Amino acid sequence: MPDANYSRVKRHFKLALVLTFCMMPLQCATLERLSLDDMISKSTAIVRGTVAGSYAALSGPAIYTHYSIQVSERLKGGGSGSIEVVVPGGVANGLRMSVSGAPVLSPGDEFVFFLYTGKSGITSIVGLTQGLFSLGRSASDPSKPASDPTATRTASRELMLDRTTARPVKDETLVMPLSELRARIAGGLKSK
């Protein structure tokens, strides 16, 4: 009889162990913390723009959301008009895929986007949420953009590592007037 009880306890312990690990939240992304200067140098384009629309599509086993951005100002890189930006995650064909650190954008939202276009021609946001500065509206008339809006990059809640030490670090929110962000970008481009 002791062998039967031991076998049953062993089987229940294995099941409990598997269930415990399945129910624990897992970190799915580890981000390198990027400074503003890092983002300026890594970007192939930096634009001020408004999200015009989006759609999600399967690409192999992954889902990507494609956002159309109506560009109002280019701070780095050439061209004009609109840009398609691809972000991992979204809902397509009844399937949902969530990616830690990936932003979800809404039509009408205005940002300064730090973008990278790879050899494949696909444009993505540098550092996921790190490469997005939301722009505030006018306090007197929220339907109109402010003349010098506040640019805010909210701190990421994802696990971040310092590049030099490879140790976990806490991200910080960056807040500055758009005019200061423009000046920092221009200064970063001159120092190259």
| Spans of all domains in the chain | 26-190
User: In 10 A of CB 158, how many CB atoms?
Assistant: 19
For 41, 51, 88, 150, 164, the CA distances from 185, given in Å and listed in that order, are 9, 22, 26, 15, 23
Confidence of residue 78 (pLDDT cuts 50, 70, 90): confident
pLDDT digits (tens, 9 = 90+) for 79-93: 778 999 999 999 999
- Which pLDDT score, from 0 to 100, does residue 171 have? 81
d(CA 56, CA 27): 23
Burial of 8 (0-12, 13-18, 19+ CB in 10 A): exposed
- Which pLDDT score, from 0 to 100, does residue 16 have? 45
More confident residue, 185 or 145: 185
Domain 26-190 has CATH 2.40.50: yes
d(CA 107, CA 55): 11
Given a cut of 80, whether residue 120 has pLDDT beyond it is: yes
Asked whether the CA dihedral 31, 32, 37, 38 is positive or negative, the reply is negative
Segment 101-105 shows an average pLDDT of: 92
Given a cut of 90, whether residue 74 has pLDDT beyond it is: yes
Q: Percent of the chain at pLDDT above 70? A: 78
Given a cut of 70, whether residue 137 has pLDDT beyond it is: no
Let me know the angle formed at the C-alpha of 102 by 87 and 145, rounded to the nearest 5 degrees: 85
